[in-house]
A and B are shown apart, each in its own frame.
Chain A
Amino acid sequence: MAELQEKISKRFPGATFEEGETLLINIADSSLHDLVKALRDEHGFDYLVTIVGFDRTTALGCVYYLASTKTQRLVSVSAQTTDRDNPMLHSIADLYRVAGLYEREVYDFYGIVFIGNPDMRRLFLNIDWVGYPLRKDYDSNPELNPVSIENERQSDTTTEWVEMPDGKVEKREHTIFEEDEFVINIGPQHPATHGVLRFRTSVDGETIKKIDVYMGYIHRGVEKLCEDLGYMQTLHFMDRLDYFSAHNYHHGLCLCIEKAAGIEVPERARVARVMMDELSRIASHCLFLGTFCMDLGATTMLFYTLRVREQILDIMERTCGARMTFNYDCIGGVIADLHEDFVKDVKELLAVIPKNLKEYNKLFTGNVIAQNRLNGVGVLTREDAISYGVTGPSGRASGWACDVRKTHPYSGYDKLDFKEIVRTEGDSMARFKNRIDEIEQSAHILEQLVDNIPSGEWLAKVPKVLKLPVGHWFQMVEGCRGVFGVYIESDGGTKPYRLKLATPSLPAAGVVDHITRGQKIADLITIGGSLDYIVPDMDR
């Protein structure tokens, strides 16, 4: 890192550095684009993990988390502006495809305009929303934003702020669809969008020309809510994001808070967390297999996969007391000890999994119709997967080894023996097969742990009211759908000053337009299904 710091300070004399868990480079807005470009092209930071907007009352700005897919190093870049009335930063949307979406999110919450981003619309909130909710001086008076009873507003144009050669910034409008295009509205109420997601789809016959994705129908402002809650309380939102990786998300936030507070987690709790994560992964992938096949018209498969999921939910119910919103991981460990039958139940589950996987493959994977529907449909190349930030099984199907359990091991994953499933085809079939294989690997992890659960405490001593020192932390874990990142910024109080959740579903939805162009309407369903996004996870 020191070498990197030296090189950058030579080229960008204005940059200042802060050492922390990752190197933070503070840079002026004018050289932001050049710095990020240099980091990407010369130092291999080709993956934009997330953009965290912040409002430090004196300044508005962003922290960019960049990672290298070769060395797995993380670096963060921060740029800010003091102009609160017309905050503007330069866009890096031309460097990372996913940055366009992330910048829209920052614009939505903080009102920071990104110069050069071709699509500066709000991402989650209504287009006529008054105010920017994550700013510290936001007026949350409900009269300002009454519930709309009009028809839904949609924008047929996007706005771009373009910088002129003389330094002035000009506003331009682009139309999304031409006058005579046949645009179908798929969603928000549609069986195949897996939640309230809306695709405005322009078609030519059955062929898709362009898709405009509308999100935010299930936006609940979790990040905003968390700013008013104690650290313990923020945990309860984690199972409302991607409700199939509730354990994994809890795990991520707990790790981040524990790292900040310096809490050591007992060994038993650590293993319990990992086991719950892997059980969740199996359950989540099972549900994926079922719903995906149902999207393709093979309804029966759903019931066969739900059978396994049901068994897992029973195991979780016994230990956690819930089947969906578990709240099992808590700061310092887990909330309750594993149920006495846990080991027996897990062994029973492990016994049925191979048989079931064989059945799934027999029923669906080898079917000639399934193969025709999946092979070569929605091909995502490795470069695009990285640029669009598509992680998880979908990213690994494109040949990108992005499993956080391998790249940044946590909770003892480095001591476990399991394979990272990577395929290079990048099509829907690869994404489908990857998940079947990951069930196998998760079962393998469980096999190693089930007989070696350490005894002892399951919860460390944690003060009732937790205060974090001043600072900021970033933690990534592998959710069932990809990289889940948590950024916490603390001002030393009992509540997070800023809590940012980087979820895998947002980039997955962002890539849909790119890989469906030129394919058929039915392929949109295949591709959307195979990317396996969860709408509450992208909307938060």
Chain B
Amino acid sequence: MNNYTIDNSQSLTQWIDQLLNSCMPSWLATTVECLLVGVGLLLVYALLALFYILYERKICAYFQCRLGPNRVGPWGLFQSMADAVKMLIKELISLNHIDKFLFALAPYLVIIASMLCFAVLPWGNGLQIIDFNIGIFFLIACSSIGVLGILLAGWSSNNKFTLIGALRSGAQMVSYELSVGLSILTMVAFAGTMDVGKIVEAQADGWFIFTAHVPAIIAFVIYMIAGTAETNRGPFDLPEAESELTAGYHTEYSGIHFGFFYLAEYLNLFVVSGVATLMFFGGWMPFRIEGWDGFNEIMGYIPSVVWFLMKAFVLSFVIIWFKWTYPRLRIDQLLSLEWKYLLPINLVNLVLMVVIIFAGWHF
């Protein structure tokens, strides 16, 4: 193994594992480890969401010739903390004439779906919660649960606006899932595995976006468009188009229930950029140029976690850029974009990728 893959994170996890096993039976050690991972995941989840909220607000502020939050803490760093506290202490308004159980269940479904996706993201070298042979498949499956929560939220609110929002969301997410799935499939075909760890390792000598060139770039562009649509972000934010449906499917939610939708939206943004990083930009692999050993060594010193997060943030920036530049599509245009353009291009691209693999026209 090259020196850049040796990382502190791996030794840290091993050290914790050894420490626990030395002082307790192995079943207890595993339980404690699971708990630690769970708590860690929740913590990272919350912190990332807070960071993303600030990140987007700052970026959109600079797009709009504003300063953005700048009162709470230096450069407004604690603004999203304050927002989170506010969200936590807000009243959960209960409505009459609604399906109370489904209404309460919906935000949890949404947040669980996005949290499950976190499990297979390769945060760093060895920093992955589960690494199994169908990691990517698991990720796609989990992200599909989210739409169920949105549909439930819209339906159970007993409100015409939320219902329209939910139905829009259903049509949109089911359609764009195809594109997300197919563009990932294109890359899975190239990698020859669905195992997240192996996909990252296969990119040690060059990220897929370079090694698989044309089809990878096409797949990447489609993935970014479809991913933006999957996360209900502008210009595809029809389910919550505020100028049409006030707030779409989560109109009737308040307090932390609303907060869950809000968090999940930002976290899905991270998941989408994380998966793009994984499939096209080498996951946590540092940037390397063949033959430039000095350069490669310096790149190798940057911890893998930083590499992963940095790439994800840059891709998120692109998605945020979309949102604050483009106007929103109309529902019929949205669906025709998917079914008439993205899907056929995607299928052709898949064939192209297979041809390239068989002909060996890749690096």
Contact with A along B299-312 (1 / 0, CB 8 A): 00000000000000
* A493 within 8 Å of B (CB atoms): no
**Closest residue to B333 on the A side, CB-wise?**
A372
Q: Given A184-B164, A297-B235, A307-B65, A364 and B327 touching (CB < 8 A)?
A: yes
A488 CA / B253 CA spacing, docked (Å): 52
A367/B327 in contact, CB under 8 A: yes
Within 8 A of A (CB), among B229-271: 234-235, 237-238, 241-244, 246
Indicate whether B160 reaches chain A with its CB closer than 8 angstroms: yes
B326 touches A367 (CB 8 A): yes
Check B66 for interface membership: any CB of A closer than 8 A. yes
- Cβ contact within 8 Å between B325 and A192: no
User: Once bound together, how far apart are the Cα atoms of A263 and B231, in whole Å?
Assistant: 65
Chain A residues within 8 Å of chain B by Cβ, number: 32
Measured in the bound complex, the distance between the Cα atoms of B244 and A184 in whole Å is 11
- Are the C-beta atoms of A300 and B64 separated by less than 8 Å? yes
- Cβ of A299 within 8 Å of any chain B Cβ, yes or no, is yes
12 extra interchain contacts, Cβ-Cβ under 8 A, other than A191-B242, A367-B327? A295-B243, A297-B241, A297-B328, A298-B325, A298-B326, A303-B64, A367-B326, A520-B331, A522-B328, A522-B330, A523-B330, A524-B244
Q: List 25 A-B contacts (CB under 8 A).
A: A184-B161, A190-B246, A191-B242, A294-B243, A295-B243, A296-B328, A297-B327, A298-B325, A299-B60, A300-B60, A300-B63, A300-B64, A303-B66, A304-B64, A307-B65, A367-B327, A369-B333, A370-B327, A372-B329, A372-B330, A521-B244, A522-B241, A522-B244, A522-B328, A524-B244
Q: Verify A373–B325 contact, CB threshold 8 A.
A: no
> Which chain A residues lie closer than 8 Å to B290 at the CB level?
none
Given contacts A182-B160, A191-B242, A520-B332, contact A299 B237 (CB under 8 A): no
Q: Which residues of A contact B63 (CB under 8 A)?
A: 300
B66 — which chain A residues lie within 8 A by C-beta? 303
Of A300, A303, A307, the residue contacting B325 (CB under 8 A) is A300
Contact check, B164 vs A206: say whether CB atoms are below 8 A apart: yes
Is there an interface contact between B160 and A297, defined as CB atoms closer than 8 Å? Answer: no
Please tell me which one of the listed residues A206, A293, A297, A364 contacts residue B331 in the complex, with CB atoms under 8 A apart: A206
- Please tell me if the beta carbons of B160 and A184 are within 8 angstroms of each other in the complex: yes
Q: Flag if B325 contacts A363 (CB, 8 Å).
A: yes
Minimum CB distance partner of A524 in chain B:
B244
Q: Is A525 an interface residue, CB under 8 A from the partner?
A: yes
Contact (Cβ within 8 A) B60 A525: no
Query: Are B65's CB and A304's CB within 8 A?
Result: yes
B313 at the interface (CB under 8 A from A): no
Which B residues touch A299, using CB under 8 A? 60, 64, 324
Residue of B nearest to A372 (CB): B333
| Given the contacts A206-B164, A297-B328, A369 and B65 also touching, CB distance less than 8 Å | no
Cα–Cα distance between A372 and B326 once the two chains are bound (Å)? 12
Check A369–B326 contact: CB distance below 8 A.
yes
Residues on the B chain within 8 Å of A294, using CB:
243
CA distance A524 to B237 in the complex (A): 17
Contact indicator B164/A525 (Cβ below 8 Å): no
User: Which chain B residues border A525 with CB–CB below 8 Å?
Assistant: 243-244
Query: Which residue among B241, B326, B330 has the maximum number of chain A CB atoms within 10 Å of its CB?
Result: B330
B157 to chain A, nearest CB (A): 14
Q: Mark A163-188, 1 if CB is under 8 A from B, else 0.
A: 00000000000000000001011000
Binding site for A on B (CB under 8 A): 60, 63-66, 160-161, 164, 168, 234-235, 237-238, 241-244, 246, 324-333
Q: Which residues of B contact A364 (CB under 8 A)?
A: 327
A206 to B100, CA, bound (A): 27
The minimal Cβ–Cβ distance linking B167 to chain A, given in whole angstroms, is: 8
Q: How far is the CB of B252 from chain A (nearest CB, A)?
A: 14
Q: Is the CB of B327 within 8 A of A369?
A: yes
Q: Which residues of A contact B64 (CB under 8 A)?
A: 299-300, 302-304
Q: How far is the CA of A525 from the CA of B234 in the complex (A)?
A: 17
Query: Beta-carbon contacts of A281-304 to B below 8 Å, as 1s and 0s?
Result: 000000000000111111110111
Q: Nearest Cβ distance between residue B152 and chain A, in whole angstroms?
A: 20
With A206-B164, A521-B164 in contact, do A293 and B327 touch (Cβ < 8 Å)? yes
Flag A192-224 by CB within 8 Å of B: 1 or 0 each: 100000000000001000000000000000000
Q: Taking the nearest CB of chain B, how far is it from the CB of A367, in angstroms?
A: 7
- Within the assembled complex, what's the spacing in Å between the Cα atoms of A370 and B60? 20
> Residue B327 contacts which of A190, A307, A373 (CB distance < 8 angstroms)?
A373
Name the distance in Å between A371's Cβ and chain B's nearest Cβ.
10
Complex contacts, B324 vs chain A, CB 8 Å: 299-300
Closest to A183 in B: B160
Residues of chain A within 8 A (CB-CB) of B328 are: 296-298, 369, 373, 522
Alpha-carbon gap, A294 to B234, bound state (A) = 12
> How many angstroms between the C-alpha atoms of A206 and B332 in the bound complex?
9
Complexed CA–CA distance, A304 and B325 (Å): 12
Per the bound structure, the CA–CA distance linking A27 and B241 in Å amounts to: 53
Q: Cα distance A373–B324 when bound, in Å?
A: 17
With both chains docked as a complex, state the minimum distance between the C-beta of A194 and any C-beta of chain B, in angstroms: 10
Q: Which A residues touch B237, using CB under 8 A? A: 297
A369 surroundings in chain B (CB, below 8 A):
235, 326-329, 333
Can you name the residue of chain A whose Cβ is closest to the Cβ of B247?
A: A191
Q: How near does chain A come to B133, taking the closest CB pair, in angstroms?
A: 41
Alpha-carbon gap, A192 to B161, bound state (A): 14
Q: Which 10 A-B pairs have the closest CB atoms?
A: A297-B328, A296-B327, A298-B327, A303-B64, A192-B243, A522-B330, A295-B243, A297-B327, A184-B160, A300-B324
User: Are A373 and B243 touching (Cβ within 8 A)?
Assistant: no
